[in-house]
Amino acid sequence: MQSIVSVGIDIGTSTTQVVFSRISMENTAGYFSVPHVSIVEKEVVYKSEIYTTPLKTRSLIDGDAIRVIVEAEYKRAGFSPADIGTGAVIITGESARKENSEVVLKGLSGFAGEFVVSTAGPDLEAIIAGKGSGAASYSDEHSVTVANLDIGGGTSNIALFDCGDAVSKGCVDIGGRLVTVDSDMTVTYISESAERIAKSVRADIRQGRKTSFEDLKQLCGGMAELLEQLLGAGERTELLGLIKTPGSSDFVISKPIRAVCFSGGVADYIYGTERDRLVHGDIGVLLGEAIRNSRLFSEFKVVKASETIRATVVGAGTYTTSVSGSTVDYTEGLFPLKNIPVLRLSESEQKKCFDGDGTVLEERLRWFLSQSDSDNVVIGMRGEPDPSFTEVKRLAQTIASAADSVLPRGIPVILVLECDIAKAVGRQMKEYLNNSRPVISIDSVKVSQDDYVDMGRPLMDGLVIPVVVKTLIFG
């Protein structure tokens, strides 16, 4: 068995957290079988304090203060950057839109170890939070559809899991910090989305003016009703589309939702009670009460989250990393690789490659590189489960030829397959290229168009490669 340390760093609209986990891998195949390495255990070994996210202004993250927090938590946990094998730095919610978010991410990635993911996509956040909360595992164990609502300070990330698989995701601007008030009920901040919702429910909430508990409760009731609409417990209105978070997918209900789970900072006030309704000077407690009294509780089975406010950071530290299949092939000395964009081939494009026609692949590669800031590209495809040697050879030569004619000199041909044929294809690509260009061919990993891939240094004596598939784009 071999283990690596994973770090999860979550910089949210309201809070910042750090979690360290240990991920253990083992060859689970028998002595006379092809090696099969699996992740057999994930254990959270350290959770940081929950910090208020430091801001220089309402719209500017204090990058230096974030670094101080993270560095201090590394010391408390007893780890150094050299100890870290993988992980994720995630700027979430409204903080993902701050003008210096990319600078913060780059700074932390350099500090946080050799292989740490930097990402801020709302769709990925929704999935990670649903895994960290326990919603995904509940869906898998009970073979049901479960919607996880991760409700933070600025946004609500929603992921629908069917038998453990994420089948839909989305994000809306509903959260506990979208309105803040001072001690005499004067509104010190109201977001654009909250203004829209307040207007729709006729709640008098205007920045710089005094408001009332009744108006704030009215607003939170409107927010809860919009979440009902999103989950199918009410007809969707135009307003729901207006508060969709930029960069997120449309949340599509492909199958009836059987259960819901709540995570995020507001979840603590959904599952529990707080006497001081303005304990944080915002609407978080009132929003939690409104959701608890909504149809989300009366029309669905409610599953209590194993993690609430820590769901995203726990998910980031323990669920972002997978491993490739054990039949892989690669040129030594290439890893780690970060943020390689994916070009996913359709079934018809894949068939052309198997048939030996690389024209379409070459055209798509030229187009893709012209649209991307990266010289690297991951060619992703499903593959075929039991191809003949002739088919493997033809596929390998077609991909190698098309890539070699398009990619800049020295850039590797990177192929990611779902079916377990990577070693055979990789060796044939190397032979065709006569070692004139590096090759990476891995399998048992599913990628989609617009995903990005990170690959760590090979583990288990080179048998497997740690892989993170993510949506990178800043919301």
Query: Tell me: the pLDDT tens digits for 281-310?
Result: 999 999 999 999 999 999 999 999 988 888
User: pLDDT value at position 33?
Assistant: 47
Q: Which two tokens stand for residue 296?
A: 């989300």
Q: Which two tokens stand for residue 432?
A: 């065709």
User: pLDDT value at position 273?
Assistant: 73
User: pLDDT value at position 472?
Assistant: 43
Percentage of the chain modeled with pLDDT above 70? 87
Strands 156-162 and 165-172, how do they pair?
antiparallel
What structural domains and CATH numbers belong to the chain?
2-119 (3.30.420.40), 124-312 (3.30.420), 322-470 (no CATH)
- Residue 36 contacts residue 27 (beta carbons within 8 Å): yes
Closest CA to 68 of 104, 94, 101: 104
Residue 242 phi, psi dihedral angles, 5° rounding: -70, -25
pLDDT digits (tens), the chain, 475 positions: 778 888 888 888 788 999 898 888 776 655 544 555 566 677 889 999 999 989 888 778 888 899 999 999 999 999 988 888 777 777 776 666 656 667 777 777 667 665 555 555 678 788 888 998 999 999 999 999 999 999 998 899 999 999 988 889 999 999 999 999 999 999 999 999 999 999 999 999 999 999 999 999 999 999 999 999 999 998 999 999 999 998 888 999 989 999 999 999 999 999 987 678 888 899 999 999 999 999 999 999 999 998 888 877 776 665 556 666 667 899 999 988 887 888 999 999 999 999 999 999 999 999 888 876 678 899 999 999 889 999 999 999 999 999 999 999 999 999 999 988 999 999 999 999 998 999 999 988 888 776 788 888 887 777 778 887 775 433 3
User: pLDDT value at position 36?
Assistant: 56
Query: Tell me: the pLDDT tens digits for 200-248?
Result: 999 999 999 999 999 999 999 999 999 999 999 989 999 999 999 988 8
